[in-house]
Amino acid sequence: MSELFDKQADLYLEGRPDYPKEWYKWLADRTPSHSLAWDVGTGNGQAAIAVAEHYDQVIATDVSEAQLQRAIPHPRVKYLHIPPTFSKDELISLIGPENSVDLITVAQAVHWFDLPTFYKTASLLLKKPGGIIAVWCYNNVTVSPTFDPVMDSFHKTTLPFWNPNIQYVFDGYKTLSFPFGEVGLGKEGEPKEVGIPKTLSFKGFVRMLKSWSAVVTAKEKGVDLLNEGVVKEMEIAWGGPELVRLVVYKAHMLVGNVKA
């Protein structure tokens, strides 16, 4: 899976939404200690550097070396490449001893993981009591009554090219296994729904679409989902190439602690 995100690393860096700062305060307020956090599937480090504003040290890991090469430096963030073959014991020895992590975050990535293995590792690493794990995704975007139907039509063309695991995202993590105790920010079967506002130019919006793994996969198979005609239709519905719009990503969050 890492090679897919290697190919789109630059676009991923430019096109993805900025997670609101208040999210990290919500999480920090729920952990009594703020010594160590682990950001898993960190990508360009967007979540890691925000977590670092509240925690003394953040270990940020990813299976994609290309993503990590573009990661945002921060004095309290340590970036590490983790091969997919790493065992639970190897991860624990690298991240920290058992019962040592205050917060684990996974932004737009947990649906790619071997969930039973990851959740077992997370449960061992989290402090008991007090440690929490937060996972979130976004699965839709609203722009305007004129643009949204065009976007819906485009999205349907991408469906054959997604990895099956993306269904968790399409479901807004409602069907994602999450065997942790409730802390008031979404629980298994009932994620917290939040909006992520972002101001984007039309060019920036198209960059975001180009970073979709389905668009990359389709292009490798000879299908240009964002061909000139499609982009032109979007541009007209957007209101022109020079117009800057407020876009709202629909996000879904699950947060929990290790059950007693």
Residue 210 structural domain = 2-257
**Whether the predicted pLDDT of 50 surpasses 50:** yes
What is the mean predicted confidence (pLDDT) over 28-55?
96
What b/e readout covers 8-36, taking b as 16+ CB neighbours within 10 angstroms?
bbebbbebbbebbeebbebbbebbeeeeb
- Decide if pLDDT at 26 tops 60: yes
Q: What was the pLDDT predicted at 15?
A: 55
> What pLDDT is stored for residue 203 in this prediction?
92
Q: pLDDT category, 9, cuts 50, 70, 90?
A: very low
Phi, psi for residue 77 in degrees, rounded to 5? -110, 130
pTM: 0.89
Q: Which H or E run includes 107?
A: strand 103-107
Lookup: tokens for 208:
């975001």
The enclosing domain of 173 has a CATH number of 3.40.50.150
Least confident of 4-18, 182-196, 246-260: 4-18
Domain total in the chain: 1
Q: Residues for the chain: how many in total? A: 260
pLDDT of residue 177: 97
Averaged pLDDT, 101-112: 96
pLDDT above 70 as % of the chain: 94
